[in-house]
Amino acid sequence: MSRIYLASRSPRRRELLRQIGVTFEIVLLREDTKRGLDIDETPLADETPQDYALRVALRKAELAAHFLGRRTLPMLPVLAADTTVVCDGRIFGKPADQEDAVRMLKALAGRMHEVVSAIAVYSEQQQIERAVSVSAVWLRPLTHDEIVRYVGTGEPHDKAGAYAIQGRAGAFVQRIDGSYSGIMGLPLAETAELLTRAGLQVP
């Protein structure tokens, strides 16, 4: 059986790992701005979206492994990931509020954007494997009322780019070129390859 630590709160990533038969335990990093963030996810100046997503994923994996070492827990591979949406070279992270979600969806509607998903695996040998998946997504034109109704469902609030392809926003997607699971947040082909390199059997 393949068993790892997953440094992510995302229910989508948990679902995708179960899909390929990977058993995991969750390692939670702090994401509450009131208590202090474990990782600053602010993009750096002149940082490409791919470099940004990979830097965040690598930092999550390294920090989670460090926490596990301090707690003297059994060492297993640690998987971390980061997903961002890119349009016209701009990074669209999680919306700050409903108004921000509306703004993002208006910018993405009726055109193509990219979804960048980076993954990092920190192995028991303290080596890090990494990969980046880039997919193109075309959303159909959306009316203001459609966007407002969708944002009102609450689905966009914790999603990069303010939409979930596996949720209600699936009705907005005309076409994709790339990895569906990567757009969800965890590209399975690349994940399986990295976990195999770390010594696991997947699937």
Q: Residue 25, SS3?
A: strand
pLDDT at 48: 94
Reported confidence tier of residue 37, pLDDT bands at 50, 70, 90: low
Cβ-proximal residues to 119 (8 Å cutoff; 6+ apart), any chain: 57, 79, 80, 81, 130, 131, 132, 133, 186, 187, 190, 191, 194
The pTM score is: 0.91
- Condensed to tens digits (0 to 9), the pLDDT of residues 127-175 reads 899 999 999 999 999 999 999 999 999 999 999 999 999 999 999 999 9
Per-residue confidence (pLDDT) for residue 80, from 0 to 100 = 97
Angle between helices 98-108 and 144-152 (to 10 degrees): 140
Residue 140 falls within a domain, yes or no?
yes
- The top-scoring range by mean pLDDT among 2-6, 40-44, 60-64, 111-115 is 111-115
Could you give the percent of the chain with pLDDT greater than 90?
78
Catalytic residue from among 46, 82, 97, 158: 82
Q: How confident is the model at residue 38 (pLDDT cuts 50, 70, 90)?
A: low
Residue 202 lies in a domain: no
- pLDDT at position 34 is 44
Residue 80 maps to a domain: yes
Compute the mean pLDDT over every residue in the chain, rounded to the nearest whole number. Answer: 92
Residue 163 is part of a domain; what is its CATH number? 3.90.950.10
Q: Is residue 203 part of a domain?
A: no
**Helix (H/G/I), strand (E/B), else coil: 31:** coil
Residue 52's pLDDT is what?
Answer: 95
Asked whether the predicted pLDDT for residue 31 surpasses 90, the reply is no
User: For residue 26, what are the domain limits?
Assistant: 2-197
The count of other CB atoms within 10 Å of the CB of residue 67 is: 17
* 51 among known catalytic residues: no
How many domains, the chain? 1
Q: What is residue 9's three-state secondary structure?
A: coil
What is the band of 45 on the pLDDT scale with cuts at 50, 70, 90? confident
Q: Does 47 map to a domain?
A: yes
**Residue 54, domain member (yes or no):** yes
Residue 195 amino acid letter: L
Joined tokens for residue 187: 């590209």
